């Protein structure tokens, strides 16, 4: 059974990104449909898969990580407007029977992602 998971690593502070709001959207014909909103736990992960089983379909998706709010909450000195506020990761699911793990590694000034396992 396939599933979609994520986690956030705060490399500016050397710890998991906890309490980060994440929006998940499905993209069809360049229009988005909101699927759900999630919050990372103390380990920087969500308590359950974002999608799993029959709800995980092939297609394009968008994860929106509310990183500006997170770094502001930690007391980071950020300019206005923030250099990075919401980080958008658009990705595709080709085989919904596989596990897709989309991590985010971030600072207030940079981010990276990859397909994890």
The CA-atom distances, in angstroms, between 105 and each of 13, 45, 59, 114 are: 11, 12, 24, 9
User: 37: closest CA among 69, 77, 11?
Assistant: 69
Predicted confidence (pLDDT) per residue in 23-35, tens digit: 999 999 999 999 9
Rounded to whole angstroms, how far apart are CA atoms 25 and 28?
10
β-pairing, 104-106 vs 8-10, is: parallel
Q: Which domain holds residue 89?
A: 3-112
Number of domains in the chain: 1
Predicted confidence (pLDDT) per residue in 62-106, tens digit: 999 999 999 999 999 999 999 999 999 999 999 999 999 999 999
Question: The domain spanning residue 21 has which CATH number?
Answer: 2.60.40.180
Question: Looking at the domain assignment, is residue 117 inside a domain?
Answer: no
Which pTM value belongs to this model?
0.96
The full DSSP string for 100-114 is EE--EEE-SS-EEE-
Question: Looking at the domain assignment, is residue 34 inside a domain?
Answer: yes
């Amino acid at each position: 059974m396939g599933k979609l998971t994520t986690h956030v690593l705060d490399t500016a502070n050397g710890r998991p990104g906890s309490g980060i709001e994440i929006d998940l959207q499905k993209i069809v014909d360049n229009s988005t449909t909101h699927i759900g909103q999630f919050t990372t736990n103390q380990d920087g992960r969500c308590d359950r898969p974002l999608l799993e089983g029959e709800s995980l379909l092939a297609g394009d998706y968008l994860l929106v990580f509310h990183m500006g709010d997170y770094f502001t909450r930690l007391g980071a000195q950020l300019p206005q407007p923030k250099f990075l506020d919401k980080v958008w990761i658009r990705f595709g699911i080709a085989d919904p029977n596989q596990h897709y793990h989309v991590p985010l590694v971030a600072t207030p000034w940079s981010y990276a992602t990859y397909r994890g396992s």
